Structure 1
Amino acid sequence: MDLSTVFSLEGKVALITGASKGIGFAIAEIFAAAGAKVVISSRNQEVLDEMANQLKSKGYEAAGIACNVGNMEELPLLVEKTVEKYGTIDILVNNAASNPVFGPVHQTTLEAFDKILAVNVKAPFELCRLCFPYLRKSSGASVINISSIGGLSPETGLGIYSVSKAALISLTKVFAKEWGEAKIRVNVICPGLIQTKFSEALWSNDKIMAMVMKQLAIKRAGTSEEIGAMALFLAASASSYTTGAVFTADGGFTI
């Protein structure tokens, strides 16, 4: 076996949402290092251009395309621009997420509920549908959804976020079962506490961190690069017989 090809993404095109920072950008950089052409997306074009230039400065092929995934009308244009730039889509990573509230679930407004579900569930669903015509033509199509351990067991203060991430896990399995015949693999990663800007409300709180550390086998927060490495496995031929799987990367929190 030639291990240099098992984790290679040479010639592949990857579209990654929520990718101007944190887990999304780490995935983009690792994919690019593995040979993929990467399209990073988030809401701010200026920031995306800066981050894409960072990747290009390392010799990688990258482009930034702004899109608010919570606005369903913008999603077709994101896919169209990606295909216009690189010709196809082989890998879709649904990483963008929203959680505008932290606290008791009964204090979550309908407006916040709708925003969370739109970004965390509806957008991945719609992007999967829009990318399907291109994924089905790929020789190694892979969809990777980024959920959360909150999708496996609700996290305190993150009620509707946890609900949305549970729905994303189920959505992953639905697509995996239906798209197997089209040779499209669909898997989901459930990160635990990863030290990103998105999770700062958790890891910057000493009381919360003290409670979390008691439950971790590996006594630290995870890194974005550790999630990126798992995503590379799921994007590459190394995982060619893996679909509908739920992977945790949580330091042993869910043991």
Structure 2
Amino acid sequence: MAAPRGAIESVEGGFKVVFFCGGQQYEVQHLRWAEEAVLVCDLLTMKEAIDGQLNLKALQLRSQHLALLTVQQLRDAVCTLRGSELRDASVAEVVEQLQACVLEAPMGASRICLLRGAAQLGLTSIAQLLRVADPQAVLGKCTGPARSALAALLAAGPAAQPLFADFVIARLPMTSKEWATVPAPCPGIGRALPAVLAHPAEQARWLVRHLPPADAQRLRTAAFSLHRAQQQLHVFLPSPVVWDILALSAT
């Protein structure tokens, strides 16, 4: 297995990351915690993987979530990120954006500072990278009083759009007042459907009300078609299987 990518240096007031890629040296400075520096190293390593420069089987990651991923899970994560804006961004641009996030982020828990910085600056690509690399930070941003958590997401603009599904997942089962705080329609919220289906049917009804019209119609069509097929074949699938099929139709 290859050695971890990136070097972490202790400097006055915190840490900095030195990262070599393509014969170039890059630095991300003013990091306040070692944990944050480790995450930055892994984020830049993921960028290299997105660009196809690394062997995923030999990859050694150190941050809390990424270090636990299997090769297949890592491959799936990289595949997801290749469909995002990160595919077209250069390593230099990602470094510049990460540095901006560090400088913009308020003092607070280390696991959510980068995410807050990305949200405040509207850096969608970094927010997407953090969603995959550090989901606990996403959930951390979505917990707390519903009104304040939602206000932070709304203030972040498009960069926080993928986080509304995480907001729902983190708070299930939600009260009617909490559902009322979620924008409707809310693109991307269908990703929360598998989690919602594990709760009373009322939660699913609320989620459907927040789906974009096209997604809601697709879900209704899938439910009707599945019901008709079961009636015609006299084969009735277990509820968890039905839920999985419907969840796929909404994501």
TM-score, structure 2 as length reference: 0.28
Query: Greater CA radius of gyration, 1 or 2?
Result: 2
Structure with the larger helix share: 2
Higher relative contact order (CA 8 A, sep 6+): 1
TM-score, structure 1 as length reference: 0.28
